[in-house]
Structure 1
Amino acid sequence: MWNYAYKGDEESGSAPLYPTMLENPELRWSFIRKVYSIVAIQLVMSIAVGAVVVSNHHISRFFATTGAGLALYIVLIITPFIVLCPLYYYHQKHPYNYILLGIFTVALSFAVGLTCAYTSGKVILEAAILTAAVVIALTLYTFWAAKRGQDFNFLGPFLFGAILVLMLFSLIQMFFPMGKISVMIYGGLASIVFCGYIVYDTDNLIKRYSYDEYIWAAVALYLDVINLFLSLLSIFRAADS
């Protein structure tokens, strides 16, 4: 395989992304561009939906003061998890995969927008800027590290264990609130975990996802970005209160 003569620079899709690469780099680059295009559209949708929810005080008031609003808020929270089940089955079937992905994105965007609706604009901007900077930096680092033969597949079990700890921590917080300091600690730990997930999922994007798994790859990266943003938002909000 390494008798092939790769010509051109890396961005043209003609150079291998990592030393042991056996597949066609052009196909992998095409897959990567497709996934990032989908993630970009998801993030634009999230920003648009979030902006509408934050700017329209009637929406936040409806969810905060009415029983129907509370019920709808619960539905919006659980809808993304419910949609993931049929999305797993139809993730390779067009156009059902895109329709389900759209429902997943809009529902999650509404939930994020409602979270931001009760947060100051300064805090939202700080969290958004830091999220963008971290995501770009970690993505560039992962591509650079993969090019030099580093592999991050070993992070999988550790990140899974960390997610379990965060889930248990949040449950404890629900029943036994420990104040602002514990919220900041939780946000800091969650931020570190999702930074790890960005590196891990980007490494999988470069090396392991098959070309038919572009929907799952996009969902994974999108959730990493959204969860990192929410983690940083909780830190800034607690510090600002």
Structure 2
Amino acid sequence: MFGYQKGLDVEAGTSGGAAATTGARQLYPGMQESPELRWALIRKIYVILSLQLLLTAVVAAVVVKVRAIPHFFTTTNAGLGLYIFLIILPFIVLCPLYFYHEKHPVNLILLGLFTVAISFSVGLTCAFTSGKVILESAILTTVVVLSLTAYTFWAVNRGKDFSFLGPFLFASLIVLLVFALIQILFPLGKLSQMIYGGLASLIFSGYIIYDTNNIIRRFTYDQYVWAAVSLYLDVINLFLSLMTLFRAAD
């Protein structure tokens, strides 16, 4: 959809005139591309993200409500093997998705498979969590995502660029993964789970700002799938982190 627009807009250097003639609101000072095309890309990304989150909510609700599903995964060898496969599947799909995220319709097929695999993992996690914790996590995730998204658009419109967060967030993510591995090998109790949930929530909140900034400024018109995947993972990981925090505190 956007392949021909990219060449017309950014590389050709004709966007400045287009922006001047249309009078569309620029997203940030000194914007050289067409604001209308960038806004169209942003709308497309958030539509895809909304569909992903809706699919995740539906799949997770089915897994939670149909008790036979988590029972199968936890009481049978076949279910345990399938559960391990579903955990690994997103990482397997992510590799071809990265290489083909600009190839339509392969990118959408891989995106759907990736979303379903993540949704099952989220659903199985929710199946062993109280409804109160799930509701608290969902409400807080919604508030945080909407607030940070609005703040990022506001700040970028006033000239802020959050790309400097990239190295710090990546380093923090590595520390978080090591902390999680230590927690698995040497369980430190509920306090460490609360610390992990709190740190993870802060890190993925930062990633929401970072990826939203990239959507506004840097993602090209053919990278809408990868942009949606980035934000989707930020939101899901924020939700799971908050759920870990509330579950340990419950």
Verify: 1:101 aligned to 2:117, yes or no.
no
TM-score (normalised: structure 1): 0.95
Verify: 1:157 aligned to 2:156, yes or no.
no
The alignment-based identity, stated in percent, is 65
Q: Is the CA contact 1:6–1:15 (under 8 Å) kept in the aligned structure 2?
A: no
Deviations along 1:14-71, one digit per CA (max 9) or x if unpaired, are 1110002100000000000000000000000000000000001100111111111111
CA distance, structure 2, for counterparts of residue 4 and residue 175 of structure 1: 59
Match of 2:134 in 1: 124
Match of 1:4 in 2: 20
Per mean C-alpha deviation after superposition, the further-off stretch among 210-219 and 91-100 is 91-100
Match of 2:30 in 1: 20
CA distance, structure 2, for counterparts of residue 36 and residue 101 of structure 1: 14
Alignment of 1:44-123 (within 5 A): 44-123=54-133
CA distance, structure 2, for counterparts of residue 124 and residue 155 of structure 1: 29
Deviations along 1:113-149, one digit per CA (max 9) or x if unpaired, are 0000000111100000000000000000000000000
CA 1:6/1:144 → structure 2, altered by over 3 Å: closer, same or farther? farther
Give the alignment's Cα RMSD to 1 decimal: 1.1
Match of 1:205 in 2: 215
CA distance, structure 1, for counterparts of residue 40 and residue 88 of structure 2: 33
Residue 154 of structure 1 aligns to a residue whose secondary structure is helix
Deviation at 1:160, TM superposition (A): 0.2
Opposite residue 127 of structure 1, the aligned amino acid is S
TM-score (normalised: structure 2): 0.92
Deviation at 1:94, TM superposition (A): 1.4
Deviation at 1:4, TM superposition (A): 2.5
Match of 1:10 in 2: none
Residue 181 of structure 2 aligns to a residue whose secondary structure is helix
Opposite residue 194 of structure 2, the aligned amino acid is M
Deviation at 1:173, TM superposition (A): 0.5
Return the match for 1:221 from 226, 231, 249.
231
CA distance, structure 2, for counterparts of residue 177 and residue 78 of structure 1: 23
Deviation at 1:79, TM superposition (A): 0.5
Match of 1:11 in 2: none
**Number of equivalent positions:** 234
The runs of 5 or more residues in structure 2 that have no matched partner are 1-15
Match of 2:179 in 1: 169
Residue 153 of structure 1 aligns to a residue whose secondary structure is helix
Residue 221 of structure 2 aligns to a residue whose secondary structure is coil
Opposite residue 94 of structure 1, the aligned amino acid is H
Deviation at 1:5, TM superposition (A): 5.6
Deviation at 1:6, TM superposition (A): 5.7
